[in-house]
């Protein structure tokens, strides 16, 4: 059996949203993602690449605006409706889903001035051709998971120096430094949600959120990064050399940085959990379909008890992953940043990504040697799953955070 929705309260509208998203994922995203997976990182973002076909079609349908309220031109969907659609899109391609939603970070000017909303949020929501692309720049060449270890003593240590800094000079901030090759959309983005240190006395906790366009003098970009999985999603470095931005570009300053970052992660980590569930489901359904078709030992694979046991194990993991991710996603997207549960978000992300890896690994096992080839998508799913385990923080770092937050009140 394929995915069976247990929520009996879904409206006809919600069922239609889910069905339409699945159709788009099946007919557009899955074929394009497989094609892009065989390209170089440079070819993926070339003007004639099918990547841009996907972006145009996704923007035309308004899928890029899912997290935004209608007042800004967004979809106005409920958190549950957003979760339903996002799982279907990630079922089609988790890499293209990441490519689509990393753009929305740079449009999150809703916490800033009305001018920033006019400059970033509204144009992004109104875009219908995929041309308005943003990115979220956090990690640095000498810093990875430590950039997100909120409320840890090390996070507030002034002796640990971030590599990207912003210094106030008159009515402007001057930004210098670098963000690492793991900025999603880094080499194609036109705007950025940038984390940069403002107060040197507070370590990483002295940072702020900046939003600005990347066409400013002093901004340069590296080459697109080649990687194991999620190859359809662009990644690359961004360099800042005396980049001047107005004071208004600072949306969140050091005084509220940790709390705001925690609220933001409460959204993004649960989002990754939803995506990982979609990926795990894709791997399970491919394995199930193959087991029904493949004849071995005189009967279909699915008639072998060992295969039945494995399929049931995969099924229960996918179902558990959905519950683990969907509940905190709905809760966190229904609440303001200060009321979101970072602990639940960490659990959702780490659990769902681990499940995606396990289920895609089992899918390869059911396919046997064929599962190791690019003739079937399960080997890609496995590579994608291994990659998403690192995105937004690797599982061991997330476990360390979760354990620390259980024993230390967040913000204390």
Domains of the chain: 12-126 (1.10.540.10), 134-254 (2.40.110.10), 258-407 (1.20.140.10)
- Angle at alpha carbon of residue 79, lines to 262 and 82, rounded to 5°: 110
Where does residue 223 fall: left (phi above 0), alpha (psi -120 to 50 degrees), or beta otherwise?
beta
Q: Closest by alpha carbon to 92, among 257, 258, 282? A: 282
Query: What percent of the chain is predicted at pLDDT more than 70?
Result: 98
Looking at residue 226, its pLDDT comes to: 98
Buried b or exposed e, range 32-48, using 16+ CB within 10 angstroms: bbeebbebebeebbeee
pLDDT at 150: 95
Q: At what angle do helices 305-333 and 342-367 cross, to 10 degrees?
A: 160
Check pLDDT > 90 for residue 103: no
- Mean pLDDT across the stretch 181-192? 96
| Residue whose C-alpha is closest to residue 111's, from 213, 263, 267, 251 | 251
Task: Report the distance separating Cα 315 and Cα 291, nearest Å.
Answer: 14
Token pair belonging to 257:
């940085």
When the pLDDT of each residue in the chain is averaged and rounded to a whole number, the result is 94
Q: How far is CA 33 from CA 27, 37, 39, 268, 377, in A?
A: 11, 6, 10, 22, 10
* DSSP 8-state class, residue 366: H
Question: Which tokens is 168 given?
Answer: 């106030």
pLDDT digits (tens, 9 = 90+) for 122-148: 999 999 999 999 999 999 999 989 999
Pair of tokens at residue 318:
């996918």
pLDDT level of residue 3 (50, 70, 90 thresholds)? low
Which tokens belong to 25?
Answer: 């994922």
pTM of the prediction? 0.96
- To which residue do tokens 């993004």 refer? 268
Asked whether residue 111 carries a pLDDT value surpassing 90, the answer given is no
Residue 411 predicted with pLDDT over 70: no
Identify which of 193, 202, 200 has the alpha carbon closest to the alpha carbon of residue 152. Answer: 202
Measured CA to CA, the distance from residue 193 to residue 380 in angstroms comes to 30
Q: Give me the pLDDT at residue 2, please.
A: 57
Average pLDDT for 180-204: 96
Give just the sign of the alpha carbon dihedral 26, 32, 37, 41: negative
Confidence of residue 1 (pLDDT cuts 50, 70, 90): very low
Matching residue, tokens 């793991």: 182
DSSP SS3 for 130: coil
**Rounded Cα gap, residues 281 and 275, in angstroms:** 10
Tens of pLDDT, residue by residue over 88-101, are: 999 999 999 999 99
244, 274 in Cβ contact below 8 A?
no
Residue 107 pLDDT level (bands cut at 50, 70, 90): confident
Q: How far, in Å, CA of 137 to CA of 105, rounded?
A: 9
Question: 6-41: per-residue pLDDT in tens?
Answer: 888 899 999 999 999 999 999 999 999 999 999 999
Burial class (CB in 10 A: 0-12, 13-18, 19+), 292: exposed
Alpha-carbon span 76 to 82, nearest angstrom: 9
> Residue with structure tokens 């997207």?
333
Q: Which helix (H) or strand (E) holds 191?
A: strand 191-197
| DSSP 8-state code for residue 224 | P
pLDDT of residue 78: 95
Average pLDDT rounded to a whole number, residues 92-121: 85
pLDDT higher than threshold 90 for residue 105: no
Whole-number pLDDT of residue 114 = 84
pLDDT at 186 over 90: yes
pLDDT band at 264 (very low <50, low <70, confident <90, very high): very high
356 contacts: CB under 8 Å, gap ≥ 6: 276, 277, 279, 280, 283, 321, 381, 384, 385, 388, 389
pLDDT in tens, 343-401: 999 999 999 999 999 999 999 999 999 999 999 999 999 999 999 999 888 989 999 99
pLDDT at 355: 98
Straight-line distance from the first to the last Cα atom of the chain, in angstroms, rounded to the nearest whole number: 47
**What's the CA gap between 380 and 371, in Å, rounded?**
9
């Amino acid at each position: 059996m394929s995915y069976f929705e247990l929520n009996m309260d879904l409206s006809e509208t919600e069922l239609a949203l889910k069905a339409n998203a699945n159709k788009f994922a099946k007919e557009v995203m899955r074929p394009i993602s497989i094609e892009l997976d065989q390209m170089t990182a440079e070819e993926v973002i070339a003007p004639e690449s099918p990547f841009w076909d996907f972006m145009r079609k996704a923007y035309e349908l308004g899928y890029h605006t899912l997290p935004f309220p209608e007042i800004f031109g967004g979809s106005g969907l409920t958190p549950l409706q957003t979760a339903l659609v996002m799982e279907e899109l990630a079922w089609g391609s988790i890499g293209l889903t990441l490519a689509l939603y990393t753009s929305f970070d740079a449009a999150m000017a809703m916490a800033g001035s009305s001018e920033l909303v006019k400059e970033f949020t509204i144009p992004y929501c109104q875009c219908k051709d995929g041309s308005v692309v943003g990115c979220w720049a956090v990690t640095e060449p000498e810093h990875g998971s430590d950039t997100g270890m909120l409320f840890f003593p090390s996070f507030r240590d002034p002796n640990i120096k971030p590599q990207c800094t912003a210094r106030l000079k008159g009515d402007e901030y001057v930004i210098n430094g670098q963000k690492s090759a793991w900025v999603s959309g880094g080499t194609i983005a036109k705007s950025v949600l940038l984390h940069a240190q403002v107060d040197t006395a507070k370590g990483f906790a002295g940072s702020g959120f900046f939003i600005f366009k990347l066409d400013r003098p002093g901004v340069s970009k590296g080459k697109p990064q080649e990687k194991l999985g999620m190859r359809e999603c662009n990644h690359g470095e961004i360099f800042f050399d005396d980049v001047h931005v107005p004071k208004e570009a600072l949306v969140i300053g050091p005084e509220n940085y940790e709390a705001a970052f925690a609220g933001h992660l409460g959204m993004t980590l649960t989002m990754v959990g939803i995506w990982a569930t979609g990926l795990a489901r894709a791997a399970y359904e491919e394995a199930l379909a193959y087991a029904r078709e493949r004849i071995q030992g005189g009967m279909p694979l699915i008639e072998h008890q060992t295969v039945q046991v494995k399929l049931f194990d995969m099924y229960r993991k996918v179902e558990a992953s959905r519950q683990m991710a969907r509940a905190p996603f709905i809760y966190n997207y229904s609440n303001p940043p200060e009321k979101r549960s970072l602990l639940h978000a960490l659990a959702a992300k780490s659990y769902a990504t681990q499940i995606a890896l396990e289920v895609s690994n089992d899918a390869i096992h059911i396919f046997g040697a064929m599962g190791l080839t690019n003739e079937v998508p399960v080997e890609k799913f496995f590579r994608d799953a291994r990659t998403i385990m690192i995105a937004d923080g690797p599982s061991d770092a997330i476990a360390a955070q979760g354990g620390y937050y259980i024993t230390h009140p967040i913000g204390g």
